[in-house]
Chains A and B, each alone.
Chain A
Amino acid sequence: AQSVTQLGSHVSVSEGALVLLRCNYSSSVPPYLFWYVQYPNQGLQLLLKYTTGATLVKGINGFEAEFKKSETSFHLTKPSAHMSDAAEYFCAVTGRAGTALIFGKGTTLSVSS
């Protein structure tokens, strides 16, 4: 069974500041890990994913995440926040391709000027 915990339901940063959104997972099998972004009244858009291989993965819009097995974490970062990054971010896990994603509760990112 899998589960996801996203620490912090709401994160606020200033434009140009570092963005750090935290995700810890639980999985009884090697996980596939994902970060999705959701803008108001829209569906989920894939930011990045980890399957196997390199533990630092780069995604769209300057985001990246590092898979740390020993810490069961997959935190999302971006060096410099932009106003357009304001959205809801979801971390998700699955144990096998083609099966249900298990999502965290999401983190709302606010960016102020």
Chain B
Amino acid sequence: EAGVVQSPRYKIIEKKQPVAFWCNPISGHNTLYWYRQNLGQGPELLIRYENEEAVDDSQLPKDRFSAERLKGVDSTLKIQPAELGDSAVYLCASSSRGLETQYFGPGTRLLVL
């Protein structure tokens, strides 16, 4: 069974530029999560989807971050414009309905210069 797929794996951009990350969850998993992991810290939730509905986006900086999960499968997280403080690893995870285990992708490492 394929795991959670993320792309790109690495991204370097100049500040004020836009950037987008893509995630394809494990087949059949209805819940999708985006986490941000700052250097030396544990991951923190940005947004959680159940199917195509964002059910928890309280920690998403909505002035510059946006996300979508069309058709309830893959998802895109966008930052526009990026700031220096956005440099981090962005992790996508998925889980099956009603189950507690979250499976993580390899992450996208973003560096904003």
Is A51 touching B91 in the complex (CB atoms < 8 A)?
no
Q: Mark B80-102, 1 if CB is under 8 A from A, else 0.
A: 00000000000101010111111
Number of interface residues of A (CB under 8 A): 24
Q: Which residue of B lies closest to A97 (CB)?
A: B100
Is B4 touching A32 in the complex (CB atoms < 8 A)?
no
Is A100 touching B100 in the complex (CB atoms < 8 A)?
no
Show 22 residue pairs from A and B whose CB-CB distance is below 8 angstroms, ordered by the A residue. Answer: A34-B101, A41-B109, A43-B91, A43-B104, A43-B105, A44-B91, A45-B104, A46-B103, A49-B101, A51-B100, A97-B99, A97-B100, A98-B31, A98-B50, A99-B48, A99-B56, A100-B45, A101-B45, A101-B102, A104-B42, A105-B41, A106-B42
The residue that A43 contacts in the complex, of B45, B95, B100, B107, with Cβ under 8 A, is B107
Interface residue A24 (Cβ < 8 Å from any Cβ of B)? no
Min C-beta distance of B24 to chain A, whole Å: 13
Chain B interface (Cβ within 8 Å of chain A)? 4, 6, 31, 33, 40-45, 48, 50, 56, 91, 93, 95, 97-107, 109
Interface residue A90 (Cβ < 8 Å from any Cβ of B)? yes
Interface residue A92 (Cβ < 8 Å from any Cβ of B)? yes
Min C-beta distance of B101 to chain A, whole Å: 6
Min C-beta distance of B106 to chain A, whole Å: 4
**Distance A28 CA – B102 CA, assembled complex (angstroms):** 21
Interface residue A94 (Cβ < 8 Å from any Cβ of B)? yes
Is B42 touching A103 in the complex (CB atoms < 8 A)?
yes
- Residues facing B in A65-82 (CB within 8 A) are none
- Residues on A with C-beta less than 8 A from B91 are 43-44
Is B103 touching A100 in the complex (CB atoms < 8 A)?
no
- Residues on B with C-beta less than 8 A from A98 are 31, 50, 95, 97-100
Q: Known pairs A34-B101, A100-B56. 16 more at Cβ < 8 A?
A: A32-B100, A41-B109, A43-B104, A43-B106, A46-B101, A51-B100, A90-B43, A97-B95, A97-B99, A97-B100, A98-B50, A98-B97, A98-B99, A99-B56, A103-B42, A103-B43
